[in-house]
Amino acid sequence: MSAPKYPEFIWHNGEIVPWAQATTHVMAHALHYGSSVFEGIRSYDTPNGPAIFRLTDHLERLFLSAKIHDISMPFDVDTLAEACRQALRRNGLGRGYLRPIAFRGLGGFGLSADCPTAVSIAAWDMGAYLGAGVLEQGIDACVSSWQRMAPNTIPTGAKAGGNYLSGQLIAREARRLGFGEGIALASTGLLSEGAGENLFLVFKGVLHTTPASAAILNGITRHSLMTLARDNGIEVVERDLPREYLYLCDELFMCGTAAEVTPIRSVDGKPVGTGKPGPVTQRLQELFFGLFSGKTADRYGWLEAVG
Ligand code: PMP
């Protein structure tokens, strides 16, 4: 496999440096113990210039993830917001994906060792996360043989590096079996979410999504879609959902910063509804992508200019 084309610059511990200089020691705590917190944020070209979608909300979630794991943050939200803008600007990116990460670096070797926190922000160009054409056609998903973490084990409300061992098991199993993405159940046996996406089911025009207590990450795209739906007269219900509802619903889609709004056309080989993206899914795609084309009003100040 050839290496991706890397960006020229990256923001690293307070300054923009050439990509190759953003290195860390192999004995960094995070590499051994998963002690990092991170975000995935998209920027879009809009009629008013490039804008970052819900930048402040993403950075605030980063600080909350750090709070859960006692990772001290050496920079404040405003500094990291400006750093995100710089990372895009210096790489000449309008549409892009931002990856801020804060991690316990080189310090002590023990589990509870105090280690200095390193912070980096990468920015790169990214198209549809689950492949070309998936936003229009949808993906084939499967229910994973791996469950999400049980309550009071590893908190899924934090976006922490260690959590993504679970996501990797789910996503890699799905890919190995020929599916576009895997859907996980919670330890309760009820639906949780995708490897890196939240889940919405549509029954008779009403949106249903799994609650925060179903071992999900409280997604910012999920919140955005719930808000857009309610503002446009689509009812939204947060509720526990059993697995078989995946096979009974009229429409099904995943959402996340990377996945945006990706329809699911089949689960475990069974078609969802007609097997094609349905009207509610398409309406939400239209409302969501409309934010960036200017067709959907940005009522909540979600677009933050790159400048
Ligand atoms: N769940 C998981 C496990 C994720 O990794 C993501 C992506 N951050 C999401 C849900 C969706 O969250 P968001 O919409 O904030 O990107």
pLDDT in tens, 81-123: 999 999 999 999 999 999 999 999 999 999 999 999 999 999 9
Q: Which two tokens stand for residue 108?
A: 């002590």
What is the pLDDT at residue 131? 81
* Ligand 1 atom at minimum distance from 222 CA: 14
Cα separations in angstroms, 167 against 149, 180, 203? 10, 14, 27
In angstroms, what CA-CA distances link 83 with 17, 80, 91, 173, 269? 12, 5, 12, 36, 44
Ligand 1 atom nearest to CA at 224? 14
Q: Which residues contact 264 (CB under 8 A, 6 or more apart)?
A: 138, 139, 140, 141, 181, 252, 253, 254, 272
C-alpha 90 – ligand 1 centre gap (Å): 26
What is the model's pLDDT at position 2? 60
206 in Cβ contact with 249 (< 8 Å) = no
Q: Is 250 exposed, middle or buried (0-12, 13-18, 19+ CB in 10 A)?
A: middle
Could you give phi then psi for residue 211, rounded to 5 degrees?
-80, 165
Q: What pLDDT score does 49 carry?
A: 97
Higher pLDDT, 130 or 11: 11
- Local structure of 291: helix, strand or coil: helix
Tallying the residues shown for the chain, one arrives at 307
Whether the predicted model's global pTM rises above the 0.75 cut: yes
**Average pLDDT value over all residues in the chain:** 97
Active site residues: 159
Q: Tell me how far apart the alpha carbons of residues 194 and 214 are, in angstroms, rounded to a whole number.
A: 12
Which atom of ligand 1 is nearest the CA belonging to 198?
A: 10
What does the pLDDT look like over 138-192, one tens digit per residue? 999 999 999 999 999 999 999 999 999 999 999 999 999 999 999 999 999 999 9
Residues 142-153 as b/e (b if ≥16 CB within 10 A, e otherwise) read bbbebbbbeeee
Cβ count within 10 A of residue 214: 25
Q: What is the pLDDT of residues 255-271, one digit of tens each?
A: 999 999 999 999 999 99
More confident call, 3 vs 86: 86
Q: Which of 197, 209, 262 to mutate to test the pocket of ligand 1 (most atoms within 8 A of CB)?
A: 197
Residue nearest to atom 4 of ligand 1 (CA): 196
Top mutation candidate among 58, 159, 216, 227 for ligand 1, by most atoms within 8 Å of CB: 159
Report how far ligand 1's centroid is from the alpha carbon of 294 (Å).
Answer: 24
Mutate to test the pocket of ligand 1, among 221, 222, 254 (most ligand atoms within 8 A of CB): 221
**How remote is the CA of residue 10 from the centroid of ligand 1, in Å?**
23
- Residue 259 to residue 263: CA distance in whole angstroms: 10
What pLDDT does residue 149 have?
A: 97
